[in-house]
Amino acid sequence: EEVSGAVKLEMITAAVKLFFCRPPEMQAMLGRLLDKAITETTHPDVRDRALLYYRLLAYSPEEARRVICAPKEIVEEFQEEMDAEMREKIFDEFNTLSIVYK
């Protein structure tokens, strides 16, 4: 029975996070897991996530740790709480590049 794509994504992420805690023990297993996820999976999301993690780790394990294990940011303000004038301005400019340049 085929394991779902969501389970595979979580398994890859968990293996990478465990690698940061125990690199010598996880290196070979993580290499095999990423290889199989990249070459043998039919799920494009799983393949893309495995490639992302592989490339991050190849570039710099410390950068990979910083990106993958980044703390979750707390949402400070919801759209409903936003000033009506500001909300209108944002939605008026939503499909333009003006938001990027501010």
d(CA 29, CA 3): 18
Taking the domains of the chain in order of start, what are their residue ranges?
A: 5-68
Asked if residues 24 and 61 have their Cβ atoms less than 8 Å apart, the reply is: no
According to the model, what pLDDT value does residue 39 have?
A: 95
Element (H, E) at 75: none
Q: Is the pLDDT of residue 2 over 90?
A: no
According to the model, what pLDDT value does residue 53 have?
A: 97
Question: Which letter does DSSP use for residue 60 in this model?
Answer: -
d(CA 12, CA 42): 15
Higher local confidence (pLDDT), 99 or 64: 64
* Three-class DSSP category at 70: coil
pLDDT digits (tens, 9 = 90+) for 19-43: 999 999 999 999 999 999 999 988 9
Written as six digits, the tokens of 91 are: 């939605």
